[in-house]
């Protein structure tokens, strides 16, 4: 039987919340400062996934203007009950600037995964990673990790708290109870509640979202505990085995198929070979779960199950048997990861959902498909280090080796106007191929680098004052190079060589996203000069 290679959602797709409704599966992922908020993917076979419109696409549902890198949307939870999709999410306002974390949690619902989504209901702010559980008696319960600013280190993750939610009153009601302190792994977060055969299960992330990451399971006959930890905990982890392709295995959720099989979606990371840096970010993979003595175990490729901590940590998790075998996969030995080459054109009414911008809803006057039919017009915004009003449209890097290209028409007349390609992690760590203006040389381009916040400007390259420019980026796993062409055929490679490892959670400071590649436009003189893009392409190498 053909197996499916992991990850199924490559590139920046962290903190998966998996759900089945009827014969369709959904995965909701964190988006942090990227907009619109919460990535939702849909599948009928757990193999091929399509992006559906992100639910948090209006300011009334989400406004992150000014939020710092890796704030914003953390660990959403998607569930289904009473004919509605229920989406719980955190809009983190501060998290790494002292002993406090500001983590307001919200709820929105919709009759369809495409919406419309209701006005947000504020729930609490006692911690992050909230999750809603619908019990079979009709009651609804919110769980989230609790943040204790009085403690230090791992003890700040003080446990999982439970409180009842009233849909009629649209508020949390009754007492708050701490039901699970976590295991010896510590740093308990990302909780989900499930019920099976009269048991309540807590599935939680532990170990921090780095190499020590893990998913812990505990169970109880009562929803408020006490909870007994799995005898062979953790359920999943790759800690201690640097040879494995998928590192950081942890933060997970599960769902059942119509025929009763169980599948676990979990977070993982793929380091650049020979390093511990993951520019693709934290990705989503899937494995099958088997049940023994009412405990879940990851299913072995040979049909066995994991029976000890040591074996669990050594299992590669690199593929799984899907619940459905579509005709087009039956002759394949193993299905490839869900990545592909694509050329984006701008002759439709909407921007492709692969593209994200930063922090707030797109102003159609800034991101326009109508100003010049057949082109994307970007109006210049704030600088590349601003947390307000940047004009930037980018997609995830999903492959270690790829090339990106764009055709741009742009006539700057002032040095504070620049546009071109961006390859970025955040405001402190990014590379720009920038077309701009010099008072003596006319239209020029530079490679601009920001590494750990240190800015460097490459040598000026003079280009013709008129006519389109073709801009490119080629990345071969560890390094990348910008290039350009004045005719779309003959290309010139530019210095310097760019280190891909800079664009990762591990490089500069604690962060949670991944590398993106796309288009930008800056005008710090008057926010008016525009750049027109005819196409943008992403090609897997």
Would you say 94 and 71 are in contact if contact means Cβ atoms under 8 Å apart? yes
Question: Which residues touch 505 (CB under 8 Å, ≥6 apart)?
Answer: 210, 269, 278, 281, 282, 511, 512, 513, 514
Pairwise CA distance, residues 266 & 251, whole Å: 6
Pairwise CA distance, residues 216 & 208, whole Å: 12
What would the 3-class secondary structure string for 436-449 be? EEECCCEEEEEEEE
Q: Helix, strand, coil shares of the chain as percentages rounded to 5?
A: 5, 50, 50
Hey, what long-range contacts does 142-148 have (CB within 8 A, 24 or more apart)? 142/88, 142/105, 142/172, 143/179, 143/191, 143/192, 143/193, 143/202, 144/105, 144/191, 145/188, 145/189, 145/190, 145/191, 145/204, 146/178, 147/100, 147/101, 147/103
Question: Which residues touch 315 (CB under 8 Å, ≥6 apart)?
Answer: 298, 300, 306
End-to-end CA distance of the chain: 28
Question: Which residues touch 441 (CB under 8 Å, ≥6 apart)?
Answer: 460, 462
Question: Which residues touch 274 (CB under 8 Å, ≥6 apart)?
Answer: none
Q: How many CB atoms lie within 10 A of CB 393?
A: 25
Any idea what the Cα angle at residue 208 is, between residues 312 and 33, rounded to 5°?
A: 125
DSSP, collapsed to helix, strand or coil, labels residue 155 as: helix
Q: How many CB atoms lie within 10 A of CB 389?
A: 17
Examine the residue annotation and report whether 15 is marked as an active-site residue of this protein.
yes
Strand runs labelled E in 167-225: 171-180, 189-196, 199-206, 214-220
Q: Is 304 exposed, middle or buried (0-12, 13-18, 19+ CB in 10 A)?
A: exposed
Any idea what the Cα angle at residue 139 is, between residues 133 and 141, rounded to 5°?
A: 40
Pairwise CA distance, residues 270 & 477, whole Å: 11
Candidates 33, 129, 146, 189; catalytic one? 189
Would you say 72 and 31 are in contact if contact means Cβ atoms under 8 Å apart? yes
Any idea what the Cα angle at residue 519 is, between residues 447 and 346, rounded to 5°?
A: 145
Would you say 392 and 379 are in contact if contact means Cβ atoms under 8 Å apart? no
Could you give phi then psi for residue 463, rounded to 5 degrees? -125, 160
Query: Hey, which residues are catalytic here?
Result: 15, 189
């Amino acid at each position: 039987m053909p197996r499916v290679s992991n990850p199924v959602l490559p590139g920046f797709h962290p903190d998966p919340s998996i759900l089945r409704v009827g014969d369709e599966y959904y995965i909701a992922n964190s988006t942090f400062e990227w907009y619109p908020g919460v990535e939702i993917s849909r599948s009928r076979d757990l193999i091929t996934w399509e992006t559906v419109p992100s639910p948090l696409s209006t300011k009334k549902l989400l406004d992150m203007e000014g939020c710092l890198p890796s704030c914003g949307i953390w660990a959403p939870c998607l569930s289904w009950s009473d004919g509605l999709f229920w989406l719980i999410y955190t809009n983190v306002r501060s998290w790494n600037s002292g002993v406090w974390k500001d983590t307001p949690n919200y709820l929105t619902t919709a009759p369809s995964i495409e919406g419309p989504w209701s006005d947000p209901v504020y729930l609490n702010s006692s911690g992050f990673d909230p999750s809603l559980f619908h019990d079979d008696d009709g009651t609804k319960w919110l769980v989230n990790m609790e943040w204790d600013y009085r403690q230090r280190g791992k003890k700040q993750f003080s446990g999982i708290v439970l409180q009842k939610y009233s849909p009629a009153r649209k508020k949390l009601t009754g007492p708050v109870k701490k039901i699970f302190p976590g295991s010896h792994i510590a740093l308990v977060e990302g909780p989900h509640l499930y019920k099976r055969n009269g048991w309540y299960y807590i599935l939680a992330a532990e170990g921090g979202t780095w190499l020590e990451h893990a998913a812990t399971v505990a169970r109880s006959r009562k929803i408020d505990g006490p909870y007994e930890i799995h005898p062979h905990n953790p359920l999943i982890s790759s800690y201690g085995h640097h040879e494995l392709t998928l590192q950081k295995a942890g933060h997970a959720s599960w769902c059942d198929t119509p025929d009763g099989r169980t599948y676990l979606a979990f977070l993982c990371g793929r380091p650049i070979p020979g390093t511990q840096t993951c520019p693709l970010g934290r990705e989503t993979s899937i494995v099958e779960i088997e049940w023994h003595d009412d405990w879940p175990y990851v299913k072995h490729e040979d049909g066995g199950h994991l029976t000890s901590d040591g074996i669990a940590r050594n299992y590669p998790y690199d593929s799984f048997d899907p619940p459905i075998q579509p005709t087009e996969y039956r002759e394949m030995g193993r299905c490839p990861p869900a990545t592909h080459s694509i050329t984006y054109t701008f002759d439709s009414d909407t921007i492709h959902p692969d593209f994200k911008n930063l922090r707030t809803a797109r102003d159609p006057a800034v991101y326009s498909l109508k100003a010049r039919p057949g082109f994307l017009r970007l109006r210049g915004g704030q600088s590349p280090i601003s947390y307000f009003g940047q004009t930037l449209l980018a997609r995830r890097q999903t492959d270690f080796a790829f090339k990106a290209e764009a055709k741009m028409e742009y006539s700057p007349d002032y040095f504070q106007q620049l546009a071109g390609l961006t390859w970025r992690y955040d405001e402190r760590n990014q590379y720009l191929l920038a077309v701009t203006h010099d008072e003596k040389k006319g239209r020029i381009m530079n490679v601009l680098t920001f590494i750990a916040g240190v800015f460097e400007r490459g040598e000026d390259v003079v280009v013709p004052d008129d006519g389109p420019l073709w801009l490119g980026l080629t990345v071969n796993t560890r390094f990348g190079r910008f290039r350009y062409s004045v005719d779309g055929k003959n290309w010139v490679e530019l210095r310097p060589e760019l280190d891909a490892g800079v664009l990762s959670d591990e490089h500069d400071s604690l962060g949670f996203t991944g590398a993106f590649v796309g288009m930008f436009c800056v005008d710090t003189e008057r926010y008016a000069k525009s750049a027109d893009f005819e196409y943008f392409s992403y090609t897997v190498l």
